[in-house]
Amino acid sequence: MSAPKNLQVRRNLLKAIGAGAIATTITGCASVATSTARYQRPYSRKPWVAPRISADNVIREIVGHRPYRASGFVVKSERFGDKLVVHNYGHGGGGISLSWGSSALAVRETAGLEPGEVAVIGGGVMGLTSARLLQDAGWKVKIYTRAVARHTTSNVAGGEWGPYSVHDPEVSSPAFKSQLQFAARVAHHAFTNLGGPDYGVRWTELYTLSDTPIGDDGEFGDLYPYRVDLSRNEHPFPVPYVRHELTMMVEPATFLRRLTEDFYQAGGEFVIRNFSNKEEILSLPESVLFNCTGLGAATLFEDAELTPAKGQLVFLPPDPDVDYLTIGGGPGSLYMFSRSDALVLGGTFKLGDYSTNPEPDETQRILSEHQRIFSNF
């Protein structure tokens, strides 16, 4: 299945590069890690330092399945007898980015109810943020999950803040687009309040690379400060169009761990349990149930539109001197995220692909394309 058109929306990131770009062959030799003194970065005023990219230095390859719906994520409530089910799932590639905002919308579905006991199904980022907001609203929360947070899809996210790869704008409704705006802006505000090492949130420079002019990105452009387009003589990248801006990096492992700690400290309880169908969920003793099961909602609540978007990441050892991010610069989905735990290279967005094993050809493409991107450093 081909990717939906909106996957090209984000600053034309997924457009193919020009015919003149030739992918290099992966070798055991790393890209040279040198600074480019002739260029100065607009915000930090530092030179660029190239990441050390080598097949010999790969420490792991991982696969995750984003829960994607062309019409957008689901936040709504519905009654099943005496049970109220609040749905909060289907966020595609924007789960962490949208977490606080989408969960705020979900918790709003309980307005007018007397806080009591509530069950949250799912222990990923949507389940945890929903649980924390419910606790703040006075509810006693129990999370039922088949796996703790570090083993969920949320923990294999790249982590750059960006509410993208979430829907197909040619399919989604105006009502959904309004919902997305609300969720993104609430989430962005929440993350700005959590900046610092405790929650693994920090501001960093992002460079968007493209072979075609980069659009204005009117949806969320105002959320990226220090935005400036660089001319060809102001950067070392092998593409004609480069945009600089600031974004937030959310380190998934740190963020999920801190959410879990906060949940426990507020009196929350975890129950490890796997559900096979909706009836098992509805048999729980709690009268209010939050469905934060991600891709699992396809089976549990019979959502035929929900489909996996397979993502593959390549991890290299962390490189503290590489203190910026890149997105784009070649065919398919490409990004380099420098985190405290690893230098993360991505990626893929394969709709309908449930396979769980990394693909060697994709690893080779990801590595060779990034070697080419940094070849002029």
The domain that holds 12 is classified in CATH as 3.30.9.10
Buried b (16+ CB within 10 A) or exposed e, 158-188: bbbbbbbbbbbbeebeeebeebbeebbebbb
Please check whether residues 213 and 360 belong to one and the same domain: yes
Please check whether residues 324 and 224 belong to one and the same domain: yes
DSSP H/E element including 217: none
Please check whether residues 314 and 369 belong to one and the same domain: yes
Q: What's 23's DSSP letter? A: P
pLDDT of residue 151: 75
Nearest C-alpha neighbor of 163 from the set 134, 197, 195, 187: 187
User: Across residues 230-252, what is the average pLDDT?
Assistant: 96
Please check whether residues 233 and 317 belong to one and the same domain: yes
pLDDT tens digits along 75-131: 999 999 999 999 999 999 999 999 999 999 999 999 999 999 999 999 999 999 999
Buried b (16+ CB within 10 A) or exposed e, 299-317: ebbebeebbbbbbbbbbbe
Q: Is the pLDDT of residue 18 over 90?
A: no
172 lies in a domain? no
At 157, the pLDDT band (50, 70, 90 cuts) reads confident
174 lies in a domain? no
Residue 49: CA atoms inside 13 Å, Cβ hemisphere, count? 13
- Helical spans, DSSP H, in 46-173: 95-108, 125-136
146 lies in a domain? yes
pLDDT of residue 305: 98
User: Across residues 304-311, what is the average pLDDT?
Assistant: 97
Q: How many domains does the chain have?
A: 2
Please check whether residues 238 and 338 belong to one and the same domain: yes
Of 4-13, 15-24, 294-303, where does the model show the most confidence?
A: 294-303
C-alpha pair distances (Å), 369 with each of 107, 181, 336: 43, 33, 11
User: What's the rounded Cα separation, in Å, for the pair 309 and 347?
Assistant: 11
171 lies in a domain? no
3-class SS of residue 304: coil
pLDDT of residue 86: 98
182 lies in a domain? no
Q: Is the pLDDT of residue 63 over 90?
A: yes
31 lies in a domain? yes
Please check whether residues 288 and 326 belong to one and the same domain: no
The domain that holds 74 is classified in CATH as 3.40.50.720
Q: Is the pLDDT of residue 27 over 70?
A: no
Q: What's 17's DSSP letter? A: P
Three-state SS sequence of 175-206: HHHHHHHHHHHHHHHHHHCCCECCCCEEEEEE
61 lies in a domain? yes
Structural domain boundaries enclosing 116: 70-165+252-305
The residue out of 305, 324, 341 marking a domain boundary is 305
Residue with the bigger pLDDT between 318 and 219: it is 318
Please check whether residues 332 and 241 belong to one and the same domain: yes
pLDDT of residue 39: 84
At 36, the pLDDT band (50, 70, 90 cuts) reads low
At 1, the pLDDT band (50, 70, 90 cuts) reads very low
